[in-house]
Amino acid sequence: MTQLTLLCLPYSGASAMVYSRWRRKLPEWLTLQPVELPGRGARFGEPLHTDMRRLALQLAHEHITTLKTPYAIFGHSLGALLACEMAHALRSLGCPEPVALFASGTAAPTMRADYDRGFAEPKTDAELIEQLRTLNGTSEEVLANKELMSLTLPVLRADFLLCGRFEPQQRPLLKCPVHVLGGKADRATTEQLIGWSKETLGSFSVDMLSGGHFFIHEHEAKVLRVIKDQLDIHQRRHAMAASA
């Protein structure tokens, strides 16, 4: 099988290391490449971004020289928006489009007016902690750890601004397939998820999984199966085209 690279972009407040355990659960033909964002993980000392397109272009410049095509991009929540912007940025630099874009756990770029309401201005520490609490992805023990929160909250604040200040842009649509994953108990509505179909001229699909915003961890095996199954389709088509 042709070797594929899977770029994975993290959600708000997270390091790309949230995807590290996927490495041993993906098939051999799929190479996981977590994309670390400035200001966290191994890039902790770098300035945080609050401009989505500027960040996407920086990441595209950083990865285009080492990116082995073909490749796919996966992003969850903030990472989904950033994945879409990175696909456009890579294309603008002359790189082929991804063979697939996986957008997980968030409203489509053109349907964020209600979804991101109140996120365009910096939130206080108390507001950020309450937001984490409502997403059910952080234990009360962690929320009460002042030292840990002092490291996490500035990253989260910048990431919320990335989403809150994002505005859709008129430009040529992507041509690659777009596959959306949503949580049945998450706040992104079916309509907001289906809105991702407006981002591409290619094929489109939606998979709904049980669970809330962090269904990618709650149902990791199902998420990985969706990714593998969709990329299997690409692999079969590529093999047929090569043998024709």
The answer to whether 84 and 112 are in contact (CB under 8 A) is: no
Active site residue 12: no
Name the catalytic one among 12, 15, 77, 104. Answer: 77
Using alpha carbons, select from 62, 55, 84 the residue that is nearest to residue 155.
55
Exposed, middle or buried: residue 216 (CB in 10 Å: 0-12, 13-18, 19+)?
A: buried
Residue located via tokens 């692999």: 235
Using alpha carbons, select from 157, 109, 112 the residue that is nearest to residue 131.
157
Could you count the other beta carbons within 10 Å of the beta carbon of residue 222? 16
Angle at CA 60, nearest 5°, toward 128 and 68? 125
- Output the DSSP codes for 87-99: HHHHHHTTPPPPS
The answer to whether 109 and 162 are in contact (CB under 8 A) is: no
The first and second tokens of residue 182, run together, are 């949503």
Which residues are known to be catalytic? 77
